[in-house]
């Protein structure tokens, strides 16, 4: 079990997790014992960060911040597995449609010097933020990969929530700061380059922290603002604002060029410095306006490749003709999640959208899922069943830096009416645990197996999804869905889908190079799947 969850799980077992209004909060060590509003200086040592290669400049920056009236508290980073650390640990009732096979890290932001910690938040890297505070990431970006990003997510919305523990949202508060847009020090690629990211809702605080960074020797050309839009959120810290929103900061990465470098990044909790920056005295607020969303619309795949739809039909016919079966069902795909910004902009608590769980949706990719006749649908996968997932290789058409599909469970894990506290966060959500996947790096060329020589084949893919490897030893385009058995138990329950579990296919297409954002839903030809019963 991940060590950061142990405290939370113990609290769950002994019944210590109670509603915010009735809880006995754990007092921060940064609060004066006298109860004065004046905070104590942090005695937490600064994290090394970047193997200490930037120690002198970072130390100067920190000292300059403290000399200019800011309290600095140090955090760190930690990897997170949404299946193990959320679903299987009883923390969250969904794995949030995890991008199967791709890793995540979160910034562990320390508690505010002016706040008190709720145990079920502090034990899981969740934080609340005053309107004049900032979080600073200082250090190298991840190593070479297809994609990385920083995103702040609204974790729980407490104000006017449907259930007393708050509505679990996981909604992106702003567009991700991604590898195509981030400012770093030096020329060339954005990987393993020094950077500063300042997460804050206040323009004046950003400008002051940025100025002091430059005084310490960091050029403006490597400093990035990440605007937290206070106009869409309920900022504050507990207990001053009991129903303030809570947040996480997530780092996504995908397809490391070097597995060794990727593992080093993931396993180093001090890969970069993470600071909470808090003014000692109240400042006159100068909130950033809510940023406009990035424009995602560009050119459609149908425009770029006029024969692509016809090629996709030829591929479908070939799959049906070449796959022995006694029955089949053809599935399309539809949008999976609501858009985070639409959820945040909804101000009416009577609207279902105000309470909507969006499972980590962000604008760097479209999210599609299995459907029938325009409605969300799922299927089961028995030992005699097979699914052929097929569609447009969005990376090959130029609308994505990388694309993939994943295999997910699709059952409701808990009831808000009967067991709202079965999980610490969420109720009534679907499992959405991704257990297997394939990216364009592996499925490029797969359509040639069905339509060899077709001029559209290089822009298409077709992959088998089944319970055991195919009999043809030369078949390389397949994904096996794990089933828990006595001979082969799962390392963690959520990583297996049993024969009767409802299953969906989820699809992603990350980062259109032309827009530095996810492809627009109208620009891509939606992926498809055919379910086969191979024998009675």
Beta bridge partners of 446: none
DSSP per residue, 370-383 = EEETTEE--B---T
Residue 269 clears pLDDT 70, i.e. is over it:
yes
* Beta carbons of 402 and 518 less than 8 angstroms apart: no
Number of helices followed by number of strands (H, E) in the chain: 9, 21
Q: What is the pLDDT of residue 48?
A: 52
Q: Domain total for the chain?
A: 2
> Quick one: 217 and 336 in the same domain?
no
List of residues 6+ apart from 224 with CB closer than 8 A: 177, 182, 183, 195, 196, 197, 198
> Quick one: 328 and 199 in the same domain?
no
Query: Residues 357-398: pLDDT tens digits?
Result: 999 999 999 999 999 999 999 999 999 999 999 999 999 999
> Quick one: 239 and 329 in the same domain?
no
Q: Which two three-digit tokens encode residue 131?
A: 């309107």
> Quick one: 392 and 486 in the same domain?
yes
Distance between CA atoms of residues 137 and 134, nearest Å:
10
In a domain, 287, yes or no: no
> Quick one: 244 and 347 in the same domain?
no
Residue 26 clears pLDDT 70, i.e. is over it:
no
pTM above 0.85, yes or no: yes
> Quick one: 377 and 474 in the same domain?
yes
Q: Which of 246, 279, 312 is the last residue of a domain?
A: 279
* Beta carbons of 373 and 204 less than 8 angstroms apart: no
Within 10 Å of residue 361's Cβ, how many Cβ atoms?
27
Q: Which two three-digit tokens encode residue 404?
A: 């993939």
> Quick one: 367 and 412 in the same domain?
yes
> Quick one: 260 and 357 in the same domain?
no
Q: Which two three-digit tokens encode residue 350?
A: 């009577």
Query: Residues 135-164: pLDDT tens digits?
Result: 999 999 999 999 999 999 999 999 999 999
* Beta carbons of 325 and 534 less than 8 angstroms apart: yes
DSSP per residue, 433-485 = -EEEEEEHHHHTTGGGGTSTT-TTGGGEEEEEEESS--S-TT---EEEPP---
Q: Which two three-digit tokens encode residue 482?
A: 């794990």
Average pLDDT over residues 232-250: 97
Residue 28 clears pLDDT 50, i.e. is over it:
no
Q: What is the pLDDT of residue 17?
A: 35
> Quick one: 275 and 311 in the same domain?
no
Distance between CA atoms of residues 135 and 114, nearest Å:
15
The lowest-confidence range among 71-85, 217-231, 376-390, 485-499 is: 485-499
Q: What is the pLDDT of residue 125?
A: 87
> Quick one: 210 and 101 in the same domain?
yes
Structural domain containing residue 80: 3-20+49-279
Average pLDDT over residues 60-69: 98
Residue 203 clears pLDDT 60, i.e. is over it:
yes
> Quick one: 172 and 261 in the same domain?
yes
Q: What is the pLDDT of residue 46?
A: 63
């Amino acid at each position: 079990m991940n060590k950061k969850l142990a405290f939370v799980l113990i609290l769950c077992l002994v019944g210590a997790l109670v509603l915010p209004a009735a809880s006995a909060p754990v007092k921060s060590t940064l609060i004066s014992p006298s109860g004065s509003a004046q905070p104590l200086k942090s005695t937490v040592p600064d994290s090394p960060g970047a193997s200490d290669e930037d120690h002198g400049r970072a130390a100067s920056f920190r000292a300059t911040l403290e000399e200019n009236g800011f309290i600095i508290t140090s955090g760190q980073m930690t990897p997170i597995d949404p299946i193990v650390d959320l679903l299987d640990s009883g923390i969250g009732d969904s794995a949030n449609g995890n991008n199967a096979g791709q890793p995540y890290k979160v910034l562990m932001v320390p508690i505010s010097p002016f706040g008190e910690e709720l145990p079920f938040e502090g034990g899981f890297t969740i934080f609340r933020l005053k309107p004049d505070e900032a979080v600073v990431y200082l250090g190298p970006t991840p190593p070479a990969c297809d994609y990385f990003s920083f995103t702040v997510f609204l974790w729980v919305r407490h104000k006017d929530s449907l259930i007393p523990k708050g509505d679990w949202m996981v909604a992106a508060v702003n567009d991700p700061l991604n590898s195509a847009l981030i400012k770093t020090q030096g020329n060339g690629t954005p990987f393993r380059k020094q950077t500063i990211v300042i997460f804050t809702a206040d323009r004046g605080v950003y400008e002051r922290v940025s100025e002091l960074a430059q005084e310490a020797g960091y050029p403006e050309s490597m400093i990035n603002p990440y605007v937290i839009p206070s106009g869409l959120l309920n900022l504050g810290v507990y207990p001053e604002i009991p129903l303030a929103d809570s947040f996480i900061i997530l780092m996504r990465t995908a397809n490391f060029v070097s597995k060794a470098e990727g593992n080093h990044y993931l396993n180093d909790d001090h890969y970069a410095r993470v600071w909470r920056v808090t003014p000692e005295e109240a400042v006159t607020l100068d909130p950033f306006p809510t940023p406009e969303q990035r424009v995602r619309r560009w050119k459609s795949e149908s425009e770029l490749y006029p024969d692509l739809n016809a090629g996709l039909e030829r591929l479908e016919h070939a799959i049906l003709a070449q796959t022995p079966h006694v029955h089949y069902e053809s599935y399309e795909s539809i949008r999976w999640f609501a858009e985070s910004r639409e959820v945040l902009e909804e101000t009416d608590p009577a609207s279902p959208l105000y309470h909507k769980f969006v499972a980590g949706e962000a604008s760097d990719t479209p999210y599609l899922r299995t459907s029938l006749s325009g409605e969300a649908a799922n299927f089961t996968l028995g030992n005699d069943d097979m699914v052929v997932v097929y569609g447009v290789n969005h990376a090959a058409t130029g609308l994505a830096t990388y694309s993939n599909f994943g295999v997910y469970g699709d059952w409701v894990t808990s009831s808000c009416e009967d067991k709202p506290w079965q999980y610490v966060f969420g109720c009534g959500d679907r499992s959405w645990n991704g257990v297997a996947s394939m990216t364009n790096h592996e499925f490029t060329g797969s359509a040639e197996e069905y339509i060899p020589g077709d001029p559209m084949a290089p822009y298409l893919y077709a992959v088998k999804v089944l319970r055991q490897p195919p009999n043809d030893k030369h078949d390389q385009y397949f994904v096996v869905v794990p089933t828990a058995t006595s001979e082969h138990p799962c390392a963690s329950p959520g990583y297996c889908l049993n024969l009767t579990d409802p299953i969906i296919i989820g699809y992603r297409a990350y980062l259109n190079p032309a827009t530095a954002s996810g492809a627009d839903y109208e620009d891509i030809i939606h992926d498809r799947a055919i379910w086969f019963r191979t024998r009675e």
